[in-house]
Every structure is written in structure tokens, then in C-alpha cells.
């Protein structure tokens, strides 16, 4: 396993004292060094050279399949490049260092009904950042790239309405966001990259095997197999890296917080009829980017507040790109990079 460590660059930030509510921008004047962002090769070099093929989606008979999420039909996907992926979900301290704000629900004190503090003794800086929208996630990627001297991967035009975003929501600014050809900066994973990395060579519902327990991931304790014992419900995200990684060295691919992906995902709105598209404008699934027209984006991996079935490798959820899921504290991100010396 080869780890790539990207060390921080000094930026200005002050000490933030946060309660349960999200923090605003910090105007501080202290030097703050970005914590290192550990990256791993996906797949490891031991898996050979590209192209890499894998089966994406849930298999027939898999427990918990939600057909309205487009998990099937299962299909073979080819990825033509090895890439680097964050070993951990982006943490609160990393997000704050880059953006000078922390939108997370889980910070400060969180008193329970019995008077105890849910976050007592917790290093909240090591918790995954949450309550981040898709738009904020792509901005984070660009800012992080700039701080590390990389060419940002996204062209973000806030003045031009995205014609492929068919949302009817007045709260959606519909920014036009496109890939920058030849960039070497941080990006959100595509949905295919995410599932390939999550599975780490497995074909079972979880990368842990045919089932999962709360000793292996942070979810709400509801068992995957009917009749199995209920697990622990922690009622919050856990510090990144609290559980054993998958076989490719990635932590928390199941549970903790959802992870935002690049891809669009359909939603049944009047201007975009319901159809069972799965991923798939084309039968040629090489480096797929999802559907072209939609009002939603994909999130993957489940969270601390959801049942184990929604933490499966194939499970797909959709959000509006402006949505931060306020008060839920269950949606964050993980980043990817091209191999050193390569570009997207």
C-alpha cells in the first residue's frame, strides 16, 4: 500500500468557538497550518496496470435493494486510470483551514436529555465535516488545489445558469460547473470511482463481506440480516479512522457521513420524466460520468443515522446540489487526485 501525504500550507485563521449552530466565516489573524491530507493509490499497485474493470451496482437478491435509486441492473465498468483518494473523509479542521468556516452540526457542546454532553471528550476537529452542499464541495476542492499549488479541477461560473440542471427549486443557484481539461487538482470522485474504491475488489454487499456490524462501521445499529442482534447507535459521527479500513486502505467508506460525488442522478420532476436510467446514457461504461440532465447529485456510503442497508457499496442517494441537510449532520465529502505527474 502506498500512501501519499500532502502537507499543509499556512493560511490565516483564528480560533473559532462554536456551539451547535453552524459557524460563519472566521476573520482571524493567526497562522494555521492545514493538517496533512493522506492519499492512497486506487487501486494499489499490486492490482496491476490500467484499465481496471469491476461490476457496479447491486446483484439480484441483495438484501435492501431500493429499485427507485437505480442500483440495478448490475453492469461492468472500466476505469482507464489509477488515481489517488483521500484515506479519510475531510475533517472539520481541514475544511475550516481551507474555507475559514465550519458548517458542521456536531461541534461545541451537545447536551442530551440526561444532562450529559454527547461530544464530551471528543476532538471535534477530527470528526468529518458535514452540512456541506455539492456547490460548497466543489469550491472546497478548488480552494484546496490553489493552496497546494495545483491547477483547480473545476471551472465554476456562478453567473451562468446550468442548462442541464432542471431543478424547479428557487433556492438552487444553478451554477455552471465543468471539468477543467488537463488539471491536476482535487476533485470529488465520480460515482464509479467511489464504488470501485469502496468495494476494493469485493462483490459482496459490503467490503466487509455479506453483512456488517457496528464494530466495523458507524450506522444506527439496525442489523442488515433480519434476526441478527442490534448494534450500537452512537447518535453522532465518529472521528475519522475509528474503524478498520477496507483492503485498499480507505476508512469509513460505509457509514459515518454520506460522501458527495460528482455525478448527477435523476429525480422524478415534471420536466424530467421518471426513468430507470441507472448510470447510463451508453452501454459503453468506460469512465462514466452519470446522466447528462438532472436536478440532483449523488451521495454515497450511508451515515451514522441510517440503517446498514443504506451503507451498502451499491446504495445510491440523491440530493439537490444546494442542499446542506441542515440539522442532520450526515453529509460530508472525500477527495481524489490524479496520479503524481498526471492530469484529469
pLDDT score for 75: 87
Summarised one tens digit per residue, pLDDT across range 170-180 is 999 999 999 99
d(CA 285, CA 60): 20
pLDDT band at residue 35 using 50, 70 and 90 as cut-offs: low
pLDDT score of 31 more than 70: no
C-alpha cell at 240: 475519522
Across 207-305, the runs of DSSP E, i.e. the strands, are 258-265, 296-300
Mean local confidence (pLDDT), 296-310: 97
With contact defined as beta carbons under 8 Å apart, do 53 and 77 qualify?
Answer: yes
Can you tell me which residue has the cell 484515506?
A: 87
d(CA 46, CA 149): 30
pLDDT score for 266: 72
Tally of CB atoms within 10 A around 23: 18
With contact defined as beta carbons under 8 Å apart, do 13 and 100 qualify?
Answer: yes
pLDDT score for 283: 52
pLDDT score of 34 more than 70: no
Domains of the chain: 1-344 (3.90.1580.10)
Summarised one tens digit per residue, pLDDT across range 140-183 is 999 999 999 999 999 999 999 999 999 999 999 999 999 999 99
Amino acid at each position: 500500500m502506498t500512501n501519499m501525504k500532502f502537507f499543509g500550507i499556512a493560511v490565516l485563521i483564528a480560533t473559532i468557538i462554536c456551539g451547535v449552530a453552524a459557524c460563519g466565516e472566521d476573520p482571524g489573524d493567526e497562522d494555521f497550518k492545514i493538517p496533512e491530507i493522506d492519499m492512497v493509490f486506487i487501486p494499489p499497485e499490486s492490482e496491476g496496470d490500467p484499465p481496471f474493470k469491476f461490476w457496479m451496482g447491486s446483484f439480484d437478491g441483495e438484501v435492501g435493494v431500493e429499485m427507485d435509486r437505480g442500483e440495478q441492473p448490475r453492469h461492468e465498468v472500466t476505469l482507464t486510470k489509477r488515481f489517488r483518494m483521500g484515506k479519510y473523509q475531510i475533517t472539520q479542521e481541514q475544511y475550516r483551514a481551507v474555507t475559514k468556516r465550519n458548517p458542521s452540526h456536531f461541534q461545541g457542546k451537545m447536551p442530551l436529555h440526561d444532562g450529559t454532553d454527547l461530544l464530551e471528550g471528543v476532538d471535534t476537529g477530527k470528526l468529518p465535516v458535514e452540512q456541506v452542499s455539492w456547490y460548497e464541495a466543489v469550491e472546497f476542492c478548488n480552494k484546496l488545489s490553489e493552496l497546494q499549488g495545483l491547477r483547480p479541477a473545476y471551472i465554476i461560473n456562478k453567473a451562468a445558469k446550468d442548462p442541464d440542471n432542471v431543478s424547479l427549486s428557487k433556492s438552487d443557484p444553478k451554477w455552471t460547473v465543468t471539468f477543467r481539461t488537463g488539471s491536476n487538482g482535487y476533485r470529488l470522485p465520480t460515482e464509479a470511482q467511489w464504488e470501485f474504491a469502496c468495494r476494493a475488489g469485493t462483490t459482496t454487499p459490503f467490503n466487509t463481506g455479506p453483512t456488517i456490524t457496528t464494530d466495523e462501521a458507524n450506522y444506527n445499529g439496525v442489523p442488515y440480516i433480519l434476526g441478527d442482534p442490534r448494534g450500537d447507535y452512537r447518535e453522532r459521527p465518529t472521528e475519522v479512522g475509528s474503524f478498520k479500513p477496507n483492503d485498499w486502505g480507505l476508512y469509513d467508506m460505509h457509514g459515518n457521513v454520506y460522501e458527495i460525488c460528482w455525478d448527477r442522478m435523476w429525480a422524478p420532476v415534471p420536466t424530467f420524466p421518471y426513468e430507470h436510467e441507472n448510470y447510463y446514457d451508453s452501454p459503453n461504461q468506460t469512465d462514466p460520468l452519470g446522466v447528462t440532465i438532472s436536478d440532483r447529485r449523488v451521495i454515497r456510503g450511508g451515515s451514522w443515522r441510517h440503517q446498514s442497508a443504506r451503507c451498502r457499496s451499491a446504495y445510491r442517494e440523491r440530493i439537490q446540489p444546494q442542499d446542506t441537510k441542515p440539522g442532520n449532520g450526515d453529509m460530508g465529502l472525500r477527495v481524489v487526485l490524479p496520479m503524481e505527474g498526471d492530469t484529469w
